[in-house]
Amino acid sequence: MTVAIYPGSFDPITNGHLDIATRAAKLFDKLVIGIYDTPNKPILFNTEERVELVKKSVINLPNIEVEAFSGLVVDFARKIGAQTMVRGLRMSADFDREFDMAMMNKKLNPDLELVCLMANLQYQFLSSSLLKEAASLGGNINNLVPEPVAIALSKKVQNKM
């Protein structure tokens, strides 16, 4: 059975993430969305919330599992038996950092294959950070995120954010 991991902070999951996950789920027998417990940046949703929002968003995709992890992503991949790691590439994302991480991960675990899917055109500009910024300022972001995320974001914003 082919198992792949799609790791990230998912703070929160966007329609861009969901599109990558949906497409990746067709390429592998099982896709595990790995939610990084302690990302190196301030987060809006805690780990439990982020797991919950991803789970609700992929509820109709039977071969996707959702799990939080801490430590090195290559170690988590080994633990769950994933031979492949999935990343979404946006034209305007930090390709440099992506490359550095890819080479570092290759060094830490040469057996884990990295597979990059290109974001679809309508999600090229969509990042979680920009999304949170827009939402916090009152922007309507409803069609950029799964419905459960839209609800959760709107609650956070009302509670001052």
Residues identified as active-site? 17, 41, 90, 128
Residue of 57, 53, 64, 72 lying closest to 5 (CA atoms): 64
Are 85 and 115 a contacting pair, CB within 8 Å? Answer: yes
Q: Does 101 bind a second copy (CB under 8 A)?
A: yes
Of the candidate residues 71, 79, 81, 155, the single one contacting a second copy (CB under 8 A): 71
Part of the chain binding a second copy (CB under 8 A), chosen from 5-13, 53-61, 119-127, 148-156: 119-127
C-alpha torsion sign, points 35, 41, 45, 47: positive
Of the candidate residues 59, 79, 122, 147, the single one contacting a second copy (CB under 8 A): 122
Residue whose structure tokens are 């059975």: 1
Site pattern 10..29 for a second copy (x: CB under 8 A): -------------x--xx--
Using alpha carbons only, what angle is made at residue 148 by residues 58 and 126, rounded to the nearest 5 degrees? 80
C-alpha torsion sign, points 67, 68, 72, 73: positive
Write out the residues near a second copy by the rule CB under 8 A: 2, 23, 26-27, 40, 70-72, 74-75, 83-84, 89, 91-97, 99-104, 106-108, 113-118, 120-122, 124-127, 130, 133-134, 137-140, 144
